[in-house]
Chains A and B, each alone.
Chain A
Amino acid sequence: MSDSPSPRPTPRPTPRSIQPVVVPIYQSTTYAQRAPGEHGGYTYSRAHNPTVSALEDALARVEDPSGSLDVRATAYGTGMAAIATLVLTVLGGESRAGAGGHAVCSEVVYGGTVRLFEEVLVRLGVTVSFVDTGDPAAVAAAMRPDTRLLLVESPGNPTLRLTDLDAMAGIAHRQGALLAVDNTFLTGELQRPFEHGADVVVVSTTKFVEGHNAALGGALLVRDPELHERLDRVRKTLGTIQSPWGAWLTLQGLKTLELRLGRCSRTALRVARWLEGRPEVQRVLYPGLRSFPQRALARRQGCRQEGRGGGVLAFEVDDAPRFLRALRVVRVAENLGAVETLATHPASMTHGDLSPERRERLGVSDGLIRLSVGLEPEPVLIEDLERGLAALRKILEKAPRGEGVSA
Chain B
Amino acid sequence: MSAVTVLKLGGSVLTGGDAVFRAVGEVHRQLLGDRRVVAVVSAEWGDTDGLERQARRLSAAAETPAYTALLATGEARSAACLTLALEACGVSVVLLEAHRLALRTDGPRSEAEPRAVGPALRGALEERSVVVVPGFVGVHEDGFTALLGRGGTDLTAVFLAHHLRGRCVLLKDVDGWFTADPAREPGARRYETLHWDEAIRRQAPIVQSRAVRLARRLGQPFEVAAVGSGGGTRVGPWPSRIAGPRSDRSDRSDLFGPSRPSGASSPSGPSMDTRLLHPPSVPGEPSGASSTPIYQTATFALSGEPGGPNTGDRWDYTRSGNPTRDVLEAQLAALEGGGASGKAGEAVRALAYASGMAALTAVLRQVPTGGEVVVGDDLYGGTQRLLRRLSDHLGVCVAPVDTTDPDAVAAAVSNATDLVLVESPSNPRLRVSPIPVLAEIAHRHGARLAVDNSLLSSYLMHPLALGADFAVQSATKLLGGHGDLTAGLVAVEDPALAERLAFDRNAEGTALAPFESWLLLRGLQTLAVRLDRQLESTRRLVAFLRAHPRVQRVWYPRHGPGGVVVSFETGSLERSRAVVRETRVFATTVSFGAVRSSISLPAEMSHACVSEERRARQGLAADLVRVSVGIEDADELMEDLGRALAGPPQDRAEGHSKPWLGRAGKGGGAANSAVPRAPAFPTTTWAST
Chain A residues within CB distance 8 Å of chain B? 8-14, 17-24, 41, 50, 53-54, 56-59, 61-62, 65, 188-190, 212-214, 251-252, 254-260, 262-263, 273-274, 277, 279, 307-308, 328-329, 331, 333, 335, 338-340, 374-380, 382-383, 386, 397, 399, 401-407
Contacts and interface: CB of A to CB of B under 8 A. Distances in A.
B31 interface: yes
B273 A376 contact: yes
B577 to A, nearest CB: 19
B686 A8 contact: yes
A20 B91 CA distance: 79
B484 A22 contact: yes
A11 B682 contact: yes
A259 B526 contact: yes
**Most chain A beta-carbon contacts within 10 A, residue among B2, B589, B675, B685:** B675
B203 interface: no
B686 A252 contact: no
A383 B681 CA distance: 48
Given A256-B526, A340-B277, A404-B31, 10 more contacts: A17-B655, A19-B656, A213-B290, A252-B674, A258-B671, A335-B290, A374-B277, A380-B270, A403-B129, A406-B92
Given A62-B669, A405-B91, A256 B529 contact: yes
B482 interface: yes
Nearest to B668: A65
A338 B290 contact: yes
B683 interface: yes
Interface in B473-489: 482-484
A116 B665 CA distance: 37
B483 A333 contact: no
A259 B277 contact: no
A20 B485 CA distance: 12
B448 interface: no
Contacts of B685: 23, 54, 57
B34 interface: yes
Contacts of B120: none
Contact of A405 (B92, B595, B674, B675): B92
Given A259-B665, A262-B667, A376-B274, A382 B672 contact: no
Contacts of A53: 686
A58 B670 CA distance: 9
Contacts of A251: 674
B629 interface: no
B386 interface: no
Contacts of A257: 669, 671
A377 to B, nearest CB: 4
A239 to B, nearest CB: 21
Nearest to B528: A375
B59 interface: no
B625 interface: no
Interface in B211-249: 218-219, 237-239
Contact of A258 (B92, B483, B656, B664): B664
Interface in B484-520: 484
Given A17-B680, A65-B669, A402-B2, A8 B688 contact: yes
Question: Could you tell me the dominant secondary structure of chain B's interface residues?
Answer: loop
Contact of B219 (A8, A18, A274): A274
Nearest to B525: A339
Nearest to B278: A340
A223 B273 CA distance: 40
A157 B218 CA distance: 30
Given A57-B676, A374-B277, A405-B129, A331 B290 contact: yes
B536 to A, nearest CB: 12
Nearest to A386: B238
Nearest to A212: B522
Contacts of A382: 237-238
Contact of B673 (A18, A62, A214, A379): A62
A65 B195 contact: no
A372 to B, nearest CB: 12
Given A53-B686, A379-B239, A19 B665 contact: no
B482 A252 contact: yes
Contacts of B61: none
B687 A10 contact: yes
Given A214-B522, A405-B90, A260 B682 contact: no
Interface in B1-58: 2-3, 28, 31, 33-34
Nearest to B663: A65
B270 to A, nearest CB: 4
Nearest to B521: A212
Nearest to A387: B249
Contact of B274 (A50, A212, A380): A380
A70 to B, nearest CB: 9
B434 to A, nearest CB: 31
Nearest to A342: B290
Contact of A379 (B218, B237, B482): B237
A263 B238 contact: no
Contacts of B328: none
A302 B675 CA distance: 28
A347 to B, nearest CB: 21
A380 B239 contact: yes
Nearest to A225: B688
10 contacts: A8-B688, A9-B687, A11-B683, A13-B683, A14-B682, A22-B484, A23-B676, A53-B686, A57-B676, A65-B670
B587 interface: yes
A54 B549 CA distance: 40
B239 A260 contact: no
Contacts of A10: 683-684, 687
B533 interface: yes
B243 to A, nearest CB: 16
A360 B686 CA distance: 47
A56 B686 contact: yes
Contact of B277 (A254, A258, A339): A339
A375 B264 contact: no
Contact of B252 (A9, A56, A328, A405): A328
